[in-house]
Structure 1
Amino acid sequence: MEFQKLVKQLKELNLPEDQHVVVGSGALAARGMREANDFDVLVTKQLWDRLASNYKVEITPEGIENINLGDIQILGKGSVFSDENIADLQTLIQTAEAVEGVCFINLPYLKKFKQKLGREKDLKDIELIDRYLANHG
């Protein structure tokens, strides 16, 4: 999916800036490293509760709570990105980097989450992150 279309879809949701952060491949797309098919978004409990009262909460086969809003996935309980041993949500929001007016997880934290996931695609993403950080500091 084209990055600009994902940005537009997310902005149309009017989520409070201080209550969400885009994680996963969206953060790579924001920096031109690779395409993203969707945006995975972490939100505060307050915002989750508001969204969950208006939209259907699904549970993925991996046991992750998820609110599917087209190409925007709001991640709930069970997401690796909720692992506070790596970073709590407020830290992720406070250290996020804005691109096109959207807050994306910073790359060092994304790398830690990708290392924990350890899937083949995550290992490839880690290589992209390392290369990007080496060239952009």
Structure 2
Amino acid sequence: MLYKKDIIKILKEVDLPLGEYWLTSGAALVIHGVKEATNDIDLGCTTELIEDFIEEGCKYEVVEDGSRIVEVNDKIEILENWFVDKIEFICGLPVGSLESIKKQKSELGREKDIKDIRLIDEFQAK
């Protein structure tokens, strides 16, 4: 499991170019304080950053909408143009806003996403 300190440390070590990536999904919820831990780090990113990782030989897959998902390492996946409406900076990292993540999870509609939406709602109600 990855906790907030782990996520921050891993992303500082990878040293991605600011403005070309943002935390989303479970890792963003950990950074916001909504969840205690997550299994991996999902990042949204620009096409330029995806291209850099593909050129370095990282594994990737093309999804239904034509965008790509790259496996950076065993802890980080980056999702091409997985946009969020608003990015906030927390602990020096670009993180999708809770409303943006809630919107994404609502569109996905999986059971785990519905659970996360409830956690976001409970967190915001505090």
Q: TM-score interval w.r.t. the shorter chain? A: 0.7 to 0.9
Root-mean-square deviation (CA, aligned residues, Å) is 2.1
Percent sequence identity over matched residues? 30
Partner of 2:94: 103
Q: What TM-score does the superposition give when structure 1 sets the normalisation length?
A: 0.77
| Number of corresponding residues | 121
Partner of 1:128: 119
Bigger strand share? 2
**Unaligned 5+ residue runs, structure 1?**
83-88
Partner of 1:75: 79
Whether 2:42 is the aligned partner of 1:51: answer no
**After TM superposition, where is structure 1 displaced by more than 3 Å over at least 4 residues in a row?**
none
Kept in 2, the 8 Å contact 1:6–1:72? The answer is no
Partner of 1:42: 44
C-alpha distance in 1 between matches for 2:57 and 2:23: 19
**Unaligned 5+ residue runs, structure 2?**
none
Task: Report SS of the residue matched to 1:127.
Answer: helix
1:16-31 equivalences under 5 Å are 16-31=17-32
C-alpha distance in 2 between matches for 1:111 and 1:6: 20
Whether 2:12 is the aligned partner of 1:11: answer yes
Q: What TM-score does the superposition give when structure 2 sets the normalisation length?
A: 0.83
Bigger helix share? 1
Task: Report SS of the residue matched to 1:113.
Answer: helix
Task: Report SS of the residue matched to 2:71.
Answer: strand
